[in-house]
Structure 1
Amino acid sequence: MAGFGSDGAAVMVGRRNGVAAKLRGDNQKLVNIHCIAHRLALASAQAADGITYLMKFKDLIGQLYRFYEFSPVRTAGLKNIQDVLNSRVKLVQAKDVRWLSHNQAVIALKRTYAAVVTSLEHEATERNEATARWLATFLATLQFTATLLMLCDILPLLSKLKTVSDANVTATIEALRTLKSTPGSNFRDLDQFLKDSSTVANIRYSHAQMDQFMKSIYLPFLDNIIKNLQERFPDVMRLSAFNIFNPIEADIDQQHNLQLLCEHYTTEVASLEEVEKEYSVLTTLLKSQYNALTTTQVLQTVQKVHGDTMPNLAKLAAAMAVLPVSTADCERGFSSMKRVKTSLRNRMKESTLNNLMISMEDPPAEEFNFHAACDSWAGMARRRLNVI
């Protein structure tokens, strides 16, 4: 067993009695990986902990979505106003369990902010909706608009951190530190945003109010994100060491990465000198013959083609090929199962459920042979309908 991937539950990653700790007791070379995508989501979501207003902001985004989602009449009214203002954008649901969904939610709200405020005021006036009046009042404040634009600058940086490596995490942290002294483009355009929205939300503020926002919300939030990223990705350096098989990084000095891998897999590979000799040959191949291959294809090639001439690198390639850096695949399976096996279909057989869910791993629709599938289905039994 080369690697073990899981979520962050104590039963999985507990230091003493967790599954990973038990497995590592029998295999010291086991690489335990708390799902990288999950950690990234936690790092961004929990950065708001301790900042009272951001917790309230997250709740309000959810209430705003539900206010329209569960009422066709309100949704239709919002769409009519959006058509008039040329801002037809659908509100997005933000949930912590949906990794970094707040990014899409705040961007969508920013694009249709004026229409939403107008719609809420209309609902409060015409239908005497107390919830709409409260939401409209909350949205038409400096704290809300400044927080909205702040998140439009910060969350995209985290969303782009899909390939987690030592370099990517470091670059993201540096970008976040830069925002502390030089705010992003969205936040710098706060005055213009308020001016464009002045017809629905006449928001004015003083320098003292902006200073208070920076001290109580903006800077603490950035500090929390940076701290969370540093604490939740302590083992990124070991995983990023496998970049030795990435053709794009063939020109980079990989001495440090080779040393890390040799130190971890001391019983599986030979000395560092032997590994370096093999890698010097592989580097030449990565630059000349394998520069168009993906990392996965390089791993397969090293194992199948160069297993005899590069035995040490072949073992490292085999280890990397099975490291479960994310649990997104199985989480996607749970979501698919929930869509298929609903409360009204709770007696569905396991075989039927498997057949309905197999489409998760099917080829793209344009590559599927529908005629062959139709012929196969028609030949299984006599049908009342004629299949053409």
Structure 2
Amino acid sequence: MDIIPILTQLSMLFQKQDLDLALVQPAVSQAISDINTLKTDDGAHVQALSKSLFSDDTGKTSLDGHVLLYFTEAKKNHFKTKIRELFCTEVIKNLETRFPEESSNMISVFAVLGMRPLSFVDNKAEWGNDRIETLIKKYGDEVTVKDGSKKSPLIDAGATRREWVIVKDLVLQEAYPRMKLTELWKIIHTYHRDSFPNLLTLASIASVLPVQTADCERGFSAQNNTKTASRNRLSGEKLSKLLKISINGPSIERFPFDVAVKLWKEKRERRMFNTDRARN
């Protein structure tokens, strides 16, 4: 039971649509550390359970007035010394497989593009340079793929360094909002796309990193709302189009219904708009 709150807290973090990439590595490391502690130490739930157990003079143990027929001290000790440790070890192994250290560190490196702490650092000229260098090393070098061919770098190393120096001053000067990495780079893309092509490439990569689960859950929710029991014969192609409109389209208040009806009417002859038939 004590592991569940730790994993729930981690899960809630990854359900945020505006997940701060800088939190990923520390949050996973803290969860692993907390679970490691539970291998040998009793958590709050185990402690509460131990206090609720009552043993009478005959050696029978009860919980809230109910006799536990198969409970023994030997089984209790076996759970604490063997089962609990094995279970915690497997959970940690799964977390480390899902969040390998190299990937978690790279995700945290991308967080530099959000520039959240920029207003509070003394040496703004040096801030973030080390993480930008990590990204340049990853995406600014030619790569050899499995078939032996060469893949061109995604960014230009020198140009990326120059853009980084300029963009920090620009963001501070224009007081662009920095609560969400995606929103910040949407603004930069709108007004300064020609000035920061390499950083915009990195921001595009950061925006599609498969970290948070909000978009996935949102997609399943939209699918369930669209393909209902009464619409179960929707084809895959039509369902895909409807989901794109539902997820990416304008809000219902902004949708131009008059234009949509006009296009639908003009696509082919509609009986309801044929006045001659209507009179007959």
- Shared fold per TM-score greater than 0.5: yes
Q: Give the structure 2 partner of residue 302 of structure 1.
A: 188
Amino acid at match of 2:137: E
- TM-score with structure 1 setting the length: 0.46
Q: Give the structure 2 partner of residue 225 of structure 1.
A: 91
Matched, 1:155 2:14: no
CA, structure 1 residues 318+154, in 2 after alignment: closer, same or farther (shift >3 Å)? closer
CA, structure 1 residues 220+368, in 2 after alignment: closer, same or farther (shift >3 Å)? same
Partners in 2 of 1:171 and 1:299 — Cα distance? 30
Q: What SS is found at the alignment partner of 1:290? A: coil
CA, structure 1 residues 185+287, in 2 after alignment: closer, same or farther (shift >3 Å)? farther
Matched, 1:198 2:64: yes
Q: Give the structure 1 partner of residue 38 of structure 2.
A: 179
Q: Give the structure 2 partner of residue 210 of structure 1.
A: 76
What does 1:127-138 correspond to in 2, within 5 Å?
A: none
Q: What SS is found at the alignment partner of 2:157? A: coil
Q: What SS is found at the alignment partner of 2:184? A: helix
Amino acid at match of 2:11: S
Match of 2:164 among 279, 286, 309: 279
Q: Give the structure 2 partner of residue 269 of structure 1.
A: 156
Q: Measure how far apart 1:222 and its partner are.
A: 1.4
Partners in 1 of 2:181 and 2:12 — Cα distance? 19
CA, structure 1 residues 290+328, in 2 after alignment: closer, same or farther (shift >3 Å)? closer
Q: Measure how far apart 1:328 and its partner are.
A: 6.6
Which structure 2 residue ranges, 5 or more long, are not aligned? 55-61, 122-126, 141-152, 274-280
Q: Is residue 25–residue 104 contact of structure 2 (8 Å, CA) maintained in 1?
A: yes
CA, structure 1 residues 265+188, in 2 after alignment: closer, same or farther (shift >3 Å)? same
Partners in 1 of 2:26 and 2:76 — Cα distance? 34
Q: What SS is found at the alignment partner of 2:156? A: coil
Q: Is residue 166–residue 236 contact of structure 1 (8 Å, CA) maintained in 2?
A: yes
Match of 1:258 among 109, 132, 136: 132
Q: Measure how far apart 1:362 and its partner are.
A: 7.0
Q: What SS is found at the alignment partner of 1:191? A: helix
Task: Provide the alpha-carbon RMSD of the alignment.
Answer: 4.5
Amino acid at match of 2:157: A
CA, structure 1 residues 242+343, in 2 after alignment: closer, same or farther (shift >3 Å)? same
Q: Give the structure 2 partner of residue 242 of structure 1.
A: 110
Please give the per-residue CA displacement for 1:311-356, whole angstroms capped at 9, x wherever unaligned: 4323322333344556874676467546755788654456764676
Please give the per-residue CA displacement for 1:175-219, whole angstroms capped at 9, x wherever unaligned: 2223334443223222355579614x3449665433211222211
Q: What SS is found at the alignment partner of 1:189? A: helix
Q: Give the structure 1 partner of residue 59 of structure 2.
A: none
CA, structure 1 residues 309+213, in 2 after alignment: closer, same or farther (shift >3 Å)? same
CA, structure 1 residues 292+340, in 2 after alignment: closer, same or farther (shift >3 Å)? closer
Match of 1:318 among 188, 204, 210: 204
Matched, 1:166 2:53: no
Partners in 1 of 2:252 and 2:95 — Cα distance? 42
Q: Give the structure 1 partner of residue 148 of structure 2.
A: none
Partners in 2 of 1:218 and 1:237 — Cα distance? 29
Matched, 1:189 2:38: no
Q: Measure how far apart 1:294 and its partner are.
A: 1.3
Partners in 1 of 2:13 and 2:179 — Cα distance? 22
Q: Measure how far apart 1:292 and its partner are.
A: 4.6
Q: What SS is found at the alignment partner of 2:199? A: helix
CA, structure 1 residues 302+368, in 2 after alignment: closer, same or farther (shift >3 Å)? closer
Partners in 2 of 1:257 and 1:222 — Cα distance? 33
Which structure 1 residue ranges, 5 or more long, are not aligned? 1-148, 384-388
Identify which range, 294-303 or 252-261, moves more after superposition: 252-261
Partners in 1 of 2:191 and 2:218 — Cα distance? 34
Q: Is residue 160–residue 199 contact of structure 2 (8 Å, CA) maintained in 1?
A: yes
Calculate percent identity across the aligned residue pairs.
27
Q: Is residue 340–residue 356 contact of structure 1 (8 Å, CA) maintained in 2?
A: yes
CA, structure 1 residues 370+326, in 2 after alignment: closer, same or farther (shift >3 Å)? closer
Q: Is residue 176–residue 222 contact of structure 1 (8 Å, CA) maintained in 2?
A: yes
Partners in 2 of 1:171 and 1:198 — Cα distance? 34
Q: Is residue 32–residue 92 contact of structure 2 (8 Å, CA) maintained in 1?
A: yes
